Amino acid sequence: MVRPVTFQAETRTGAGPASRLALNVLGAPARGRGAVLREDCVRALLRTAADGGVGLVATRPVADVERLLGQCWPFPSPFRVTVRTVSSAEGVDRVEARARRSLERMGLPRGDAVMVSSACDLAGADGRALWDRLERLKDIGLFRRIGVCARVEDGPELLARRFRPDVVELPCNLLDQRAATSGLIAGLAEHGSAVHLRSVFAGGVLFAAREDLPLHLVQSGSGVSRARRSLAENRADPMQAALAYALNLPGVESVTAGVASAAELRAVLAAAHAPMPDLDWPALALDDPATLNAAGPSAVSSAA
């Protein structure tokens, strides 16, 4: 059942939309002189985030980003940090050790939330043991909250009833509005779970030139061209529209944007503060939003 979504107006007042943005720092590690330049880039990015009012940094245990963050935090740091776990296939002991290691690499005594990287890890035989181990990390004060990264197909409400996560992270964007229109976000709030959104830029599909779109999105009649044409006809910038949609959904605590430089972050901050465009939001959604799952990463904020 598709439910109408009523947007909340208060996100454009008070602390401002930037306070509800989460930053995901993208990029691969560099060596030699490149490493120095990379550190300068991350330092500038974090300074821009702090000055812009961004309060949350979402991290993943990949590449060398955690170490870079640890070397580049402004002092005093205004950021709260979420940490993703490695796969439970590596064993519960490894999951705990890597979560602790993430904090050590970033030079942090504690994190805001430790996030199970896939709902499948909780559905497996070791799901309860994994959750109990993370609860122990919360009990001793290493993390304030425990959460899970899920998809709509994972049945997040069932997970919320079973595990009572403090946070649930979901994909939701202009092209895939299922988390909002199905009532999932509202249902998770009823279970006491804060909702964080990812993939708000639809893997960069909203920004890509037609010739750069994955073949299945060009040929499947998925509606990407229709959505892009609608935005153009209404003179709506795709980034502004994407952020306005996500930031104004009721029940959403934070919206993650993946950026690789201070310049990209400045563009995101400007878009977040822009007036909300007057659009027919339901008309922008794809008829088959699951087709987005096969889309490859884009150069623009692919992890956002």
Domain 10-292: state its class: alpha beta
> Region 72-82: what's the mean pLDDT?
95
Q: Percentage of the chain with pLDDT > 70?
A: 87
* Mean pLDDT to the nearest integer, 184-201: 95
DSSP annotation of 223 reads: S
Calculate what percentage of the chain has a pLDDT beyond 90.
73
pLDDT at 34: 52
- Domain layout of the chain by residue ranges: 10-292
- pLDDT computed for residue 298 by the predictor: 38
pLDDT per residue as tens digits for the range 249-291: 999 999 999 999 999 999 999 999 999 999 999 999 998 887 7
CA distance 199 to 292: 10
Q: How many CA atoms lie within 13 A of 235 on its CB side?
A: 1
**pTM: predicted TM-score of the whole model, two decimal places:** 0.89
- What does the pLDDT average to over 102-127? 96
Is the pLDDT at 1 greater than 90? The verdict is: no
pLDDT at residue 294 in the model: 61
Separation of alpha carbons 191 and 164, rounded Å = 7
* Residues 204-231, mean pLDDT to the nearest whole number: 80
Neighbouring CB atoms inside 10 A of 289's CB total 19
